[in-house]
Amino acid sequence: MFIHVVMPGETLWQIANRYGVSVAETVAVNGLQNPNRLVIGQALVIPSEDFYTVQPGNTLWKIAQTYGTTVREIVQANQITDPDSIRPGMILYVPAPRHRVQPGETLGGIAQMYGVSLQSLITVNRITDPDRILPGTVLVIPRRARPPLNVNGYLYTLGEDAVPIVREDGRFLTYLSPFAYLIKEDGTLQPIDDEPAVQAALTERVVPMMSITNFTSTSQGANLASVVLNSPQLVERLLTEIISLMKEKGYRGLNIDLENVLPADREAYNRFLQRAVDRLHAEGFFVSTALAPKTSEGQAGLLYEAHDYAAHGRIVDFVILMTYEWGYRKGPPQPISPLNQIEQVLDYAVTVIPREKIYFGFQIYARDWLLPHTEGQEAETFSSQEAIARAVRYGAEIQYDPVAQAPFFRYWDEQSREHEVWFEDARSAQAKFDMVKSYNLPGISYWALGYPFPQNWTLLEDNFTIRKWNFSS
């Protein structure tokens, strides 16, 4: 895949023609709602294996290894006079290796010959009937297997409304976490309508992961957590109910998202985690937690102090870092998940948590703030698709923050009010995937499913092989 940023005067037909791809396929990959109206600065995913944007630290040798070709072929194809002078941002044509089908050969045998998956060979060559490959057909050999990745998706749309979302995104997921069972002061759980989502997940070979929490949109839950965590009797009642519900509903694991826990309850929270792991492991369930984005052990604040990174890393099976919400809906406009801030969190996290237990938190929503921002004013939250639609509607030009690795724009509405929008696009998604790979992390967790973002899923599949559980084993 290649990412193209729209320049003034460009049309979709011109862009597709430049890269030798169809307009229809480009529209589908990007989920373009109005293909005839592109926005300056809009990032488009180009469904081509043959173009690559040079990244910081790249060498021609590294690029050639990634694509299964040679430095000489890249140099010749791009008429490069000095192979050591490539620079970030350069667009290179990378001649993908090709294979001419011989009599008697099968797609499976060709895939094995080149060390690629059969499905990737079928996808890259747009093969509709894998059993009818004629001798003489020239096949593009795709890049080698992507690194494996566990993918979790939180979902707070429940009931039957959850089913189409799970069906649409299910093939990209390892886990699904309907959000969430609220802990009550008597150690029981407030019920949620999660059965349709769980059953849809199982149909899509996605592992249902039960989620519990102590907070709501109107209550921080600090005192609630304190009451339960400090009572051994309530802890046991809570764990008993969790296990019962997991067996009843078909859950395979538990995600614990306790936020705003009082600093004085830090050790009580750690003891609860150990007890939860002891009881749930005995029943064959796994346990994970969600952690606020800390950059040091002693970071002050109600969100952070009771989240003991080292203890969570030691006790539970994996942790989800909630690396988003810098651009808080009730705060001033700013990037929601700036990569420079996330990097600081990861730099600390990998020093105290085994990196094979760390999942990267990825938000896939956009926010629209009124300007000037006033205290208590709440931003509107919607999808990145809607962000593009607003940029089109109001004729905005999309900017890109190279430090935060995040797109944004401003516009004036019908009431002559100025707005600032921060969202995610193909560039910011790819930057996050590159960071996951650079830190060698095993997973990504999305907050939250239900915000359409087709570019994300296309690039996710292009970068990784998504792990699926075999429920029969």
Task: Catalogue the active-site residues.
Answer: 259
CB 430 within 8 A of CB 338: no
Decide: residue 165, CB within 10 A, 0-12 exposed, 13-18 middle, 19+ buried. buried
What is the rounded end-to-end Cα distance, in angstroms, of the chain? 35
Decide: residue 404, CB within 10 A, 0-12 exposed, 13-18 middle, 19+ buried. buried
CB 192 within 8 A of CB 156: no
CA 459, 462, 465, 469 torsion-angle sign: positive
Residue that the structure tokens 């093969």 belong to: 127
CB 31 within 8 A of CB 66: no
Report the alpha-carbon distance of residue 379 to residue 185 in Å, rounded. Answer: 32
- Please give the distance of CA 435 from its chain centroid, rounded to a whole number: 12
Report the alpha-carbon distance of residue 363 to residue 257 in Å, rounded. Answer: 16
Report the alpha-carbon distance of residue 275 to residue 187 in Å, rounded. Answer: 15
User: What's the alpha-carbon Rg for the chain, to the nearest Å?
Assistant: 24
Report the alpha-carbon distance of residue 135 to residue 101 in Å, rounded. Answer: 5
